[in-house]
Amino acid sequence: MSISLSSLILLPIWINMSQIQQGGPDEKEKTTALKDLLSRIDLDELMKKDEPPLDFPDTLEGFEYAFNEKGQLRHIKTGEPFVFNYREDLHRWNQKRYEALGEIITKYVYDLLEKDCNLKKIFIPVDATESEPKSFIFMSEDALTNPQKLMVLIHGSGVVRAGQWARKLIINEDLDSGTQIPFIKRAMDEGYGVIVLNPNENCIEVEKPKTHVQSSSDSSDEPVEKRERKDKVSKETKKRRDFYEKYRNPQREKEMMQLYIRENGSPEEHTVYVWDHFIAKSAAENVFFVAHSYGGLAFVELMIQREADVKSKVTAVALTDSVHNVWHQEAGKTIREWMRENCCNWVSSSEPLDTSVESMLPDCPRVSAEECCRTRVKHQGLGS
């Protein structure tokens, strides 16, 4: 394994500093001298040799990838699957590249939901002003008017967004494995209205405004010499801080801040909001949920907050590797009893499909999904 140039130069210095700092007061001079030496190293130049710029394409074509007829992501020229370690021994850069591709995948799936599945993007909050942060969900044309049945899909936590089960599966396997599209299409073929939640879209990121720090010499009546000494100390402190910041953030990535979306600042809040403003108002006599991983926890939270309403509308719930916990979430006895009758959790297991799997929690039956439950969860039991 190769070692970066900056690591080779800085490692012995860090070791020496560590040893010196363990010594007594007599070593303070040496510590100061070493810190001064570190401050003279031009890390910008060193890092340029270590890591290419974090500038990535904003389209699949720019990455030279495309989805083939089987829904598999393949290199346009070589036909090979996606390669994570594109640059050897540059894990941070490779990870940033992977994340950039993931953002493109998210938009690609959004397009598929609208164009292939004929879903509509609905912005929330429903009464949002023009300037405030917004999120969105997807719904079929008949989601609120279908008198018989409605299917609601909730994905898990992390980087996934509406229409996805797992980004990793989309990139490394295929669209059918990693997206909700097969579920949506089958549901629509069988006469369901469909609502696709977007529980991880809780905020928007904007660049932090640059703060102007006023110099002490601008507003102080102190003697000139004292102000100059203060300014010198301030500049040295800033120089040291910038040095460490340059190493931590060598390419000077933009500092971002999060603006949370009103009443949708968490997956649980989002689920309750969509229930109140859409699902509860739907005409469907029978509502069915498919909830994966953290989506199961969000559903249980919905039950805790809207127990009577949920019981009156929801017929069955298919959970897949749900991480809910009825004890930690303080779900009452009546909720646990309802879940035992109306929910089933397909969990990853080596047992044959649908084999009962023991659980320490007294909530709902758990059965084997045989393989990854994201791709093998069964639709029967959700109603016809």
Scanning the structure block, which residue is given the tokens 């292939």? 116
Q: With the CA atoms of 177, 179, 180 and 184 taken in that order, what torsion angle do they form, in degrees rounded to the nearest 10?
A: -90
**Catalytic residue among 293, 322, 349, 356, which?**
293
Q: Give the H/E segment covering residue 66.
A: strand 65-67
Task: List the beta bridge partners of residue 151.
Answer: 194, 288
- The structure tokens listed for 107 are 């938009």
Torsion sign across C-alpha atoms 334, 340, 342, 345: positive
CB-based contact 326:294 (threshold 8 Å): no
Q: Hey, which residues does 260 pair with through a beta bridge?
A: 203
- Provide the token pair at 323: 């991480």
d(CA 123, CA 142): 17
Would strands 135-139 and 193-196 be described as parallel, antiparallel, or unpaired? antiparallel
Identify residue 226 by its one-letter amino acid code.
Answer: K
Catalytic-residue membership of 293: yes
Catalytic residues: 293
